[in-house]
Amino acid sequence: MNVLCKQAIYNRNGEISFYEVFLQDRKTRSYPVGVDPLKASSIAIDVLTEMGPEIVGNGKLVFVNVPAIFLEASMFDLLSPQHVGIELVENKRISNTLLDAIEDLVKRGFKFCIDDFGFEKIDYLPLLNKCHFVKINLKENPYGQEELKEVISILKSLKKGIIAKNIETKEDYERAYMLGFEYFQGIYLSQPAMVRDTRTISFLKSTIIQIYNAIKSGNIKKVVDVIEKDVGVTYKLLKFVNSASFAKARDFSNVEEAVIYLGLENIAKFTIVLALSEMFTDKEEMELWRRALFRASLGEKLAEIYDVKLKDKAYLMGLFSLSWEILAQRPAELAKTLSLDRDIVEAYENRITSLGFILSLIDLLEDNEREETIQKVAKVLNTTPDSIKEALEKAREESKKFIV
DSSP 303-342: HHHH-GGGHHHHHHHHHTTTHHHHHSS-HHHHHHHTT--H
Residue 401's pLDDT band, with cuts at 50, 70 and 90, is: low
Would you give the distance in Å from CA 150 to the centre of its chain? 39
Q: Are residues 255 and 314 in the same domain?
A: yes
CATH code, 76: 3.20.20.450
Would you give the distance in Å from CA 194 to the centre of its chain? 8
Q: Are residues 384 and 301 in the same domain?
A: yes
Can you tell me whether residue 61 is helix, strand or coil?
A: strand
Q: Are residues 132 and 276 in the same domain?
A: no
pLDDT in tens, 231-282: 556 766 776 677 645 555 667 767 888 888 888 777 766 665 555 444 444 5
Q: What are phi and psi of 174, to 5 degrees?
A: -65, -40
Q: Is the pLDDT of residue 284 over 90?
A: no
Q: Are residues 112 and 167 in the same domain?
A: yes
pLDDT in tens, 56-67: 888 899 999 888
Domain that includes residue 325, residue range: 198-402
Residues 6+ apart with CB under 8 A from 302: 314, 358, 361, 362, 381, 391
pTM of the entire predicted model: 0.53
* Pairing assessment for the beta strands 133-137 and 111-114 based on DSSP bridges: parallel
pLDDT of residue 339: 65
pLDDT of residue 24: 83
Cα radius of gyration (the chain): 25
Residue 153 gets the label, from left (phi > 0), alpha (psi -120 to 50) or beta, of alpha
155, 176, 196: which is the final residue of a domain? 196
pLDDT in tens, 137-168: 998 888 888 999 999 999 999 999 999 999 99
Q: Are residues 109 and 49 in the same domain?
A: yes
The total number of structural domains that make up the chain: 2
Task: Give the pLDDT mean for 95-118.
Answer: 87
Q: Are residues 233 and 245 in the same domain?
A: yes
Continuous segment of H or E residues that includes residue 101? helix 96-107
196, 225, 253: which is the final residue of a domain? 196
Would you give the distance in Å from CA 303 to the centre of its chain? 30
Q: Is the Cα dihedral 221, 300, 205, 397 positive or negative?
A: negative
Q: Which of 68-77, 265-274, 289-298 has the lowest mean pLDDT?
A: 265-274
Q: Is the pLDDT of residue 200 over 50?
A: no
pLDDT of residue 281: 43
Q: Are residues 158 and 250 in the same domain?
A: no
177, 196, 215: which is the final residue of a domain? 196
Task: Give the pLDDT mean for 351-377.
Answer: 90
Q: Are residues 204 and 328 in the same domain?
A: yes
Q: Are residues 8 and 93 in the same domain?
A: yes
Residues 6+ apart with CB under 8 A from 374: 365, 385, 388, 389, 392
* Pairing assessment for the beta strands 84-89 and 61-67 based on DSSP bridges: parallel
Q: Which of 15-24, 113-122, 187-196, 263-272 has the lowest mean pLDDT?
A: 263-272
Report angle CA 102, 105, 107 to the nearest 5 degrees. Answer: 110
Q: Are residues 239 and 387 in the same domain?
A: yes
CATH code, 306: 1.10.3210.10
Q: Are residues 132 and 173 in the same domain?
A: yes
Q: Are residues 174 and 230 in the same domain?
A: no
The overall average pLDDT reported for the chain is: 81
pLDDT of residue 326: 66
Q: Is the pLDDT of residue 111 over 50?
A: yes
Task: Give the pLDDT mean for 115-123.
Answer: 73
Continuous segment of H or E residues that includes residue 114? strand 111-114
Q: Is the pLDDT of residue 14 over 80?
A: yes
pLDDT of residue 359: 95
**What gap in Å lies between CA 377 and CA 314, rounded to an integer?**
17
Q: Which residue has the higher pLDDT, 98 or 62?
A: 62
pLDDT of residue 276: 45
